[in-house]
Structure 1
Amino acid sequence: MMMQEKVRRIFMSIVGVIVTGFCVGGLQKANLGVDPFTCFVTGIANLLHSTYSVFYLVITAMLLLFVLLIRRHYIGLATLLNLLLTGVSADFSYQVIDKIIHQPTFIVRVVLMIGSIIVMCFSASLYFTADLGVSGYDAVALILANKFTCVPFRYWRILTDGFCVLVGFTFAVNIGLGTVITAFFMGPFIQFFTIHIAEPFRYQNKQILSN
């Protein structure tokens, strides 16, 4: 049984990370606003007159160092998968969607955006629940929820996402509908999928306790 659960956790991590990348590609094609972390990194890059790629690496490295010092438990297989697979799967999904829907209408873009966000929340719940590591940014809200248990994860995620959007907006990043939706609804949606799908799949007949 323990081995079966371990296999399920690895499966959840791999699928969760790859599907998250696919959803990033969907959001890019929808072109209705970036996610909060991208918004934050772009804002800092604008402030320091640098590029997104440079500060993505710098900020990600700083977050991973923070997580290693505070709660290294969140660094694991999924962390490595995030670094290696998210960008590749995002580029792949964008190219596939672009070939199928080269010039989507506004309605199609809205549907693509909403679908990508919902599926992204589901995939994030998979690799969070697998507990084999998360990205540096994802770990921040998880650490806060673990340390201050009186406030559920979904509210910490809204707070961290909202902070990122505020920084991006302050430093001339264009805020779109997708940015607002991800900032205020990803946390609650992730927790919903965690409670109703991800945890039952991982633990199966075991008793589950969630915030």
Structure 2
Amino acid sequence: MNIKTKRIIMSVFGMSILGVVVALLRKANLGVDPFTSFVVGVGNIFNTTYGIMFPILTGIFLIAVFFIDKHFIGIATILNLVIIGPVADITLKGLNLLYDASNIWIQIVTLFIALVILCIASALYIVGNLGVSSYDALSLILAEKLEGKKWGQYRFCRMFTDIICVIIGFSTGAVIGIGTVITAFFMGPFTQFFIIHLAKPLLYGKITETSDDLDNVKNT
């Protein structure tokens, strides 16, 4: 199997299981990632499901990215738009039929599983290197526009967009909790681990670590 085919498979699979992660985080009810909190919150305003609101919001962001800096758009950007929302809704319905997560220990286990899968999915999606989500692109564009300035580093720009999402999500009824905090502070290092020890070997057949891999972790 050639590298290009592997990249497409990794991107599609990574995007698909990101939808599963969203469902698990919502099932755990201990806090979701910042962007999911934003989508859920806006969905609460319009009484709309995540699966419907996600492509609407990411589509709006995609239009903005296209006119501002379209080089961030790739196959994975489109996959992100059409796959994650429906997969998240379908998976959540299945999980609700499968088990009750009212027990705190079940919630913690569900959260742990979600975070592990999240890092694996992100590693596959990043190493696939076929574009970034429209939300990820916003902070990357902001970092480029502010390059050389004190607050122009990517981590500050990402913190800014994430904080805005959390504020909107919290004010509109999304669950903000330990899952949100863990996602914000620990996702990067664990995603880096899976990039080096899982995604890169899958793509190239061996463990390799380059500066590009470490830089790409920032896109999560």
* TM-score above 0.5: yes
Name the CA shift for 1:103/1:164 in 2 (closer, same or farther; >3 Å): closer
Contact 1:153–1:191 at 8 Å: present in 2 too? no
Could you tell me which residue of structure 1 aligns to residue 13 of structure 2?
Answer: 15
- Paired residue for 2:128? 130
Contact 1:60 1:137 in 2 (8 A): yes
Q: Tell me the amino acid that sits aligned with residue 8 of structure 2.
A: I
Tell me the SS of whatever aligns to 1:60.
Answer: helix
* Alignment gaps of 5+ in structure 2: 216-220
Does the 8 Å contact 2:25/2:114 carry over to 1? yes
Contact 2:76 2:133 in 1 (8 A): yes
CA distance in 2, matches of 1:89, 1:187: 24
For residues 107 and 27 of structure 2, the distance between their equivalents in structure 1, rounded to whole angstroms, comes to 8
**CA 1:152/1:115 → structure 2, altered by over 3 Å: closer, same or farther?**
farther
- What is the Cα deviation at residue 204 of structure 1? 4.3
1:185 paired to 2:186: yes
Is this contact kept in 1: 2:22–2:36, CA < 8 A? Answer: no
Aligned to 1:202: 203
Of residues 112, 115, 119, the one that matches 2:113 is 115
Q: Which residue matches 1:64?
A: 62
Alignment correspondent of 2:169:
168
Aligned 1:20-169 pairs, distance under 5 A: 20-41=18-39, 50-51=46-47, 56=54, 59-143=57-141, 148=147, 157-169=158-170
CA distance in 1, matches of 2:144, 2:210: 16
Render the CA deviation track for 1:170-195: whole Å, top value 9, x for unaligned: 56654222222222223333333334
Q: How many pairs align?
A: 207
Q: Is the 8 A contact 1:82 1:135 kept in 2?
A: yes
**Identity of counterpart residues, as a percentage?**
41
- Comparing 200-209 with 85-94, greater Cα deviation is found at 200-209
TM-score (norm. length: structure 2): 0.74
Letter in 1 for 2:210: I
Which stretch shifts more, 113-122 or 200-209? 200-209
Contact 1:157 1:187 in 2 (8 A): no
Tell me: CA distance 1:97–1:41, structure 2 relative to 1, closer, same or farther (3 Å).
closer
CA contact (8 A) 1:158 1:186 kept: no
What's the Cα RMSD here? 3.3
Verify the 8 A CA contact 1:63 1:137 in the aligned structure 2. yes
